[in-house]
Each structure stands twice: as C-alpha cells, then as structure tokens.
Structure 1
C-alpha cells in the first residue's frame, strides 16, 4: 500500500490532529524530562552543558599548571620536566594552549614550539613533556596552561541525598503531605454530602443556595484570604487555640475548594438514574443509606476528578501555606522550602533540579493513578444537570 493510499485511509484531518497532539505532548513532557535528567547529573557537567548533552561526552576549558624546577631532569642535550596536568581529575585532553585567549591552539599529542628552544607536548591522558635546550629558570617553569578537557557523562544520586538530608526538603515533603491529604479528603466528604442534598433532597432555598455556590467559584482567592485569616485568628483567640496550625490551613483549603467541588459533584450526582434512587426509597432506604451505598460508589469518577484538582492545587500552593502556617522550618511546606532554596542556592542547579523533581513526583503519582477517571468524571459533570 502506497503512502498516498495510507494517508487517504487514515484521513488528512485525523493525521493533522494526531501530529498536533503528539507535538503538544512532546513539548509538555520536555521540561519534565530535562529536570529528571539534570537531577542525576554531576554538578560540574551540569553547569557547563545542557541536559540534552547528558548522555554524550562534554568538553570544558580547565586551567592547568606545569611542574617547577624541582622536577627538572637532563636527558642528553635536553632539559625535561614531565608530569600530568590533570592531576587525578577525570577526562581526556582534546587540545591545549598557553594563553587564555587561545586554549585550543594545539591538539593533544602534538608538540608546541614556544620559542627559545622550549617545546611542550600534552597527551590526551594529561601526561606532558616540557623540554628546553637550556636549563629551565624560575621564569619559564610552573607555567600555566589551558586545557580543553572532554569528560564522559557522570550520573550520581548525591543530588537527591543532599536534598533529602542536608537541605531540609525531607521535612518539608512530610509537611506538604500533612497539609495536602486532609485538605483533599475533607472537602470531598463535605461536598459529597452537600451535592447529594442539592440533587435529591427537597427543601426551601435550594436553588438560591446552588446559585450562591456557583457564584463563590469566581471569588478570587486573594480577595478572601486576609478576611478569612482574621476570622480564624479571632476565633482562635476567643477559644484559646494557637494560630499557625495545620487545622487552620485544612479549613482554609476546604473553604476555597468547596464551591467547585459541590458544583462538580452535584452535576454528576443529579444525572444518576432516577429509577435507582426511587427504588431504594420504595425499599425503605433513607437518604443516608442511599448516599453511602448507592450514590457514593456510582460517583467515584467525579470524586476522583476533583481529588486530582484539589490535591494538585494544595500541593503546589505557597500563598495559603505561608499565611496560615508561617515560614518556620518545622512547618514549612515543600513549595516554601524550594522557594527559600532558590534564593540561597540559586546557582546550584543540581540541587534545584533534584528538589523540583521531588516536588512533582507525588502529583505525578496521584495523576497517573486516577487519570482514567478524570475525563469520565469531567464529561459526566458537564453534560448532566437538572
């Protein structure tokens, strides 16, 4: 079958859509792949080359110095100083030079004529032979040379060890889990009860209450954050409860997440088959039994969809965490720790890349474990309603 027939069979519009999706996915995944590869790279290689060169040898310019008069030996008519300019460092010398402006003036293994009967040859393994027809003096020994050194790719787990042990990220990781898990479960439980009530229970003001919930979705977080904090502090002072606790941030994330959760779950629950609910009522089941034994199991796709959104939102949050928990090291969440690390270790890319990948690891696990329910829950919540 020819290429033209294959294209005709597939369909040009479909082919364009598939290629577009493939390009978008590749562009979306590329930064994550770069962070992942960089997090395992050696510090010296990471600072001089991009992550896409991680699996090939990289070249960098390094200074070196020849030995002094104490290493001078006479071999026939020549005076010789020999040694190794790499001094135990890894890599292979591709080229060398005697001036900073021309570090690649001579290829490795060739002999450079430096004038006045002085010659220098540096091999790829770093060994060199420095010769002169006259005895060396203090002026022409201990010479600085410049090397173009190729090093093989080096991968290490040291970056992660430094992040999880020496940078305080480990404790911040635990703090983020302490915040994110309850702040995801609590609004789901509350919203599920509210969504069932707005869907299948008749009471006065139900329509107005639903309209208020929809209106709260568009309220900016920044507008309500400070009033909510003041209210929380006033109540805490009245009850004698200390501020800056995990309970406060759980309640804050619950309050900010409830409107969307109720709206999403209500649109899904109201679209469940009416016959099932009515049959359960005929059999004598109450609202609580209907909710726990019928509605909740059938609403799992919608619950999983919101759980993904809420967990990702809470995990990546910095503003609410700093307001309600503060910046103490024992309560600092992962985003706060990375923000502080970026300020103090901005040049240590190996630490930052490892920290960034640690921060996205948990959201990736949550997303891939629940993503099969995501589209089903969102589509059902968008087309069903009443």
Structure 2
C-alpha cells in the first residue's frame, strides 16, 4: 500500500518561486548599487550596471596638444600625441572627426582634410598626427571628436573621493551620536508603557491604546513644525539651546514611540499569563516582573523595533536639518553627502559610492538582529 507521494504540490512550487522572486527584487538594487559604485564614471554615465562586464561605446570630445608643442618636419608643422592618454581614457578608437556636424566621418588611419590645409590622422590606439603648412597659433589644441569602445573599467575612485571629503568623518560620528540614543531612548520608554498597557489595570487604559494606534497614522511632516515650536518654548523657559542633540533625540523619540508601544504591547500581552501570576504569588512587584521576566522574554520584539528605528533615524535628513541644523559641526552623514553634490547636482557619480557607504552600518545592524525580526513582527498576530 502506498503511504503517500513524494512529489510537491504545484502550490508549493508557486510559493517557492514567489519567495525567490521577492528575494531577487530586494537584492538586485543593492547589487546594482555596488556594481555602479566601482565603475568608471564615464561608463556609468552612458550604460547601465548590468552591462558592466561588456565593452561600452562612448562618443567623446578631446583636444590635441597646444600649438606650443608643434615641431617642424619636412616643411610642415606637426603635432603628435595620444588622444586617449591625454584625456585619461582607455579603449579602441573606431571613428573620429573634427567637425561637430559629422563626428564619425573618418575611420582610424584615414586622413581628415581640415581647414587651412591641415590634415589629421587618428589610429585605433588613439595616436594622432596633425600637420599644417603654416605655424599653428592659439592657446589650445584642436578639438577631436572620437568614438571609443572601452573595456570594462572598475575603480575605487568614487569611494576615495567620498571618504577623503572634508568633514566626512565628523558627519559619520554625528550620525552615530544621533542614531544610537534615538534608538535606545524610545525602546526604554515604550517597554515600560507597553507592559503597563498589557498587564496593569487602570482607568483609561483602552483610551490610551486607541490613542497610540491613532498616532501611527499621523504624518511626520504635519507634526514637525508644532513639535519644533513646543520644544523651542519649553527649551527657552529652561534655558536649553535650540540646536542641540537633546532636541533631535526627543524628536525621534516622539515620532518613534507610537510604533514602539504598539509593537511591544502586542508581544508582551501574548506572553504566558501563568508566568506573570506565579511571579505575583511569589511576591514580585511589577518592576521586578518587568525587569526579570518581561524584558528577557521580549527581546525579539525589542530587536524588531530597534532595526526599524535605527534604519529610519540613520537615513533621516529632514528632522536632522530642523532640530540639529546645517552647521559644519552639526551635519549628519546624509546632509554631508548632499552638500558634496552641490546645488546643481554636480559630481553626481559619487552618489552610488555614497549610498553604499551609508547602508553599510544599517546592513550590519539588520543582519545581526534579523533572526528576531519575524518573531517580533508576528507578535500578537496569532493565538497560541
């Protein structure tokens, strides 16, 4: 008698394929970001990261050496050099021209007839020869339009530029100074509040729970200015300066508390009642129960919220600009990277390296705590 089949059902295959697709959708952007961060900036500007391992074609503009480098040879005035070396390029020239209307008019090795009797030849390796029957004048060399097929070029120049930028180390420390307390403080407050809402009986408990749930949908942008005004009034009364770390710690704590209390209460309320009652019979106070029983058992939920709060605060720019300021000694890492780009987005190729540098710390936090993430998020969703 056949006890069962070893074949998997089609639904199970669909589930596995769906999970694989979700993993790819989440992983591919990170892979693309890393590949882009180590590519040559010229290749990055014209091709996508998925073409990083194949040669790329680029239409470029270079210049010959200046007239002061010309030599006289056989009655002609000659300029020689390499258009690729002089412009810090690599690859093979496939076409060139001296007019913008027809930048690919000539193949490598052909002679281009120019104005005033000048002639120019460009070889595949970029070596050029420009001859003129009369002495060449001017302060700059002649323009050379050329098409180059370049092999894949990988470099760490973008990382060097970002890491060597002035003030980047200070901004990194500022981000840590903002993020760590802004993660720890709401966890401590929310843990006490969640225990009270889960296991302590007092008037108005249901109303408080409803308020916490309602605060989850309040947009940060809507409450940011009122919170700043309130902080300035209270701080002015007690003589506390406006732009301090204390202000941004309190702001992030206020914005993070609703989610923290909601998440922790769901988890703590599902802990076995028998453990709590046994501790009470043994004479333990609420504080003893919270410190010795609730906190150790609630670590998955605490870790889940810590991941979300850390990621949000680390990547924040708006709250940091409002409560901390834009001074050189106050800029967080996201603000420093924004300043490096300038008001018109110049030097944009460093964005990929900058983004990858900024996600290294959050990735470390996530992978160190991710085993607790699912258990914490599912807290209270099912009954045991």
Deviating more after overlay: 21-30 vs 294-303: 21-30
Asked if residue 94 in structure 1 is aligned to residue 90 in structure 2, the reply is no
Displacement of 1:120 after TM fit? Answer: 5.6
2: CA distance between counterparts of 1:384 and 1:170?
A: 48
1: CA distance between counterparts of 2:118 and 2:217?
A: 79
- Aligned counterpart, 1:324: 323
* Map 1:343-382 → 2, pairs under 5 A: 343-344=342-343, 346-382=345-381
CA contact (8 A) 1:41 1:350 kept: no
1:328-355 deviations in Å (ceiling 9; x for gaps): 2211222333333444361312222222
- TM-score normalised over the length of structure 1: 0.83
2: CA distance between counterparts of 1:225 and 1:122?
A: 62
1:32-62 deviations in Å (ceiling 9; x for gaps): 3232222223333333433333333333223
1: CA distance between counterparts of 2:313 and 2:283?
A: 40
Query: Cα RMSD (Å) of the superposition?
Result: 3.2
Displacement of 1:269 after TM fit? Answer: 0.7
1:225-277 deviations in Å (ceiling 9; x for gaps): 22222222122111112111111111111122112211111111111111112
- Aligned counterpart, 2:231: 232
Question: Measured at CA, do residues 273 and 136 of structure 1 come closer, stay the same or move farther in structure 2, by a change above 3 Å?
Answer: same
- Aligned counterpart, 1:177: 176
Number of aligned residue pairs: give it.
Answer: 371
CA contact (8 A) 2:212 2:258 kept: yes
* Map 1:119-134 → 2, pairs under 5 A: 121-128=121-128
* Map 1:83-232 → 2, pairs under 5 A: 83-86=80-83, 87-88=85-86, 89-91=88-90, 92-108=92-108, 110-112=109-111, 114=113, 121-128=121-128, 136-138=133-135, 144-232=143-231
Query: Any unmatched runs of 5+ in structure 1?
Result: 1-7
Query: Any unmatched runs of 5+ in structure 2?
Result: 1-5
2: CA distance between counterparts of 1:184 and 1:145?
A: 57
CA contact (8 A) 1:94 1:149 kept: yes
Question: Measured at CA, do residues 70 and 215 of structure 1 come closer, stay the same or move farther in structure 2, by a change above 3 Å?
Answer: closer
1: CA distance between counterparts of 2:82 and 2:361?
A: 46
Displacement of 1:153 after TM fit? Answer: 3.2
Q: Secondary structure at the match of 1:347?
A: coil
Q: Secondary structure at the match of 2:95?
A: strand
2: CA distance between counterparts of 1:225 and 1:130?
A: 64
Question: Measured at CA, do residues 378 and 145 of structure 1 come closer, stay the same or move farther in structure 2, by a change above 3 Å?
Answer: closer
- Aligned counterpart, 1:4: none
- Aligned counterpart, 1:286: 285
- TM-score normalised over the length of structure 2: 0.83
1:180-216 deviations in Å (ceiling 9; x for gaps): 1111111111111111122222333322322232232
1: CA distance between counterparts of 2:120 and 2:258?
A: 76
